[in-house]
Amino acid sequence: MKREGGICIKMQRGDNSFIPAPPIGRRFSPVQSFRSIFAALAILLFYPVVAPAIEQWGIFELALKGPTEGNPFTEVNLSAQFTQGTNVVVATGFYDGNGIYRVRFMPETQGRWKYTTASNVRKLDGQTGSFRVTKPSRQNHGPVRVAHTYHFAYADGTPYEELGTTCYVWEWQPEPLQEQTLKTLASAPFNKIRFCVFPKHYAYNTNEPGMYPFPGELAAKNWDFTRFNPKYFQHLEQRVADLQKLGIEADIILFHPYDEGHWGFDRMPAD
């Protein structure tokens, strides 16, 4: 907001409230200065910043700037403790490239939650905040769990009757084929799909993925297994989110690279 002959300090709370700062070069008496300070404090006290909102069973994400030197994947520890009354949940954070560290949390209950981070890096340690958890949207029934020993149900009690399919590495095919797969699934009866994290090389698929889970070169097979390729996993996350929009559960195969030595991912050391 522009003010003639002065500067405006704007305090957002859903309207256009602001505190005018003293015009440049003009002197104020101690009384006037005190009044300005008091007015600013009053607004902060009576019009607090509203905590961000997220729906129940949604994803709260905390993104923090941190160090890039060394190996952030192995040298930086980050977690956050989320609390609501007596409910305490600790979530482990991760490095997502370009100096960004993230912690994600799925709140199971509505209301106000608080968090505090813990890290061996001072810049990431002791970060605090809060957020509000609202009612879930109409299509959000929560995660699928075992119900009554022999059945499945969503967290809100809605029965889940599984009808699944397998498409091992659909997310690592050429982009047009990925989009075609999503379009086909949108009109299909399936509510679960099983697929791999790693690319797959075998008789029915010899397509080379556009990227790899670790930094390195295919020709040399000099993969650095101490680091991840963030873009690879960001793409995987996006495809999981695309399935979620269709109401399809992602059944992910974590540690089974069908490689047969082509990339060497199936020959990674145990650690």
In DSSP notation, 110-134 reads: -EEEEEEEEESSGGGTT-EEEEEEE
Q: Two tokens at 259? A: 């490689």
pLDDT at 145 over 80: yes
pTM for the model: 0.80
Confidence of residue 28 (pLDDT cuts 50, 70, 90): very low
Q: Two tokens at 62? A: 């905390």
Is the pLDDT higher at 28 or at 67? 67
How far is residue 4's CA from residue 6's CA, in Å, rounded to a whole number? 6
Are 42 and 48 in contact by the 8 Å Cβ rule? The answer is: no
Q: What is the pLDDT of residues 96-108, one digit of tens each?
A: 999 999 999 999 9
> What is the predicted pLDDT for the residue at 259?
85
pLDDT at 21 over 90: no
* E strand residue ranges, 189-237: 192-196
How far is residue 210's CA from residue 253's CA, in Å, rounded to a whole number? 20
Classify residue 264 by its DSSP letter: S
When the pLDDT of each residue in the chain is averaged and rounded to a whole number, the result is: 86
The predicted model gives 151-158 an average pLDDT of 96
Q: Two tokens at 111? A: 């209301």
According to DSSP, the residues that pair with 250 across neighbouring strands are: 193
Query: What are the start-end ranges of the H helices in 47-192?
Result: 72-75, 175-186
pLDDT at 122 over 60: yes
Amino acid at 163: L
List the Cα angle 225/227/228 in 5-degree steps: 100
Q: What is the pLDDT of residues 46-76, one digit of tens each?
A: 555 567 899 999 999 999 999 999 999 999 9
The predicted model gives 19-23 an average pLDDT of 43
How far is residue 43's CA from residue 22's CA, in Å, rounded to a whole number? 17
Is the pLDDT higher at 13 or at 69? 69
How far is residue 192's CA from residue 265's CA, in Å, rounded to a whole number? 26
Percentage of the residues of the chain whose pLDDT score is greater than 70 = 82
> What is the predicted pLDDT for the residue at 29?
57
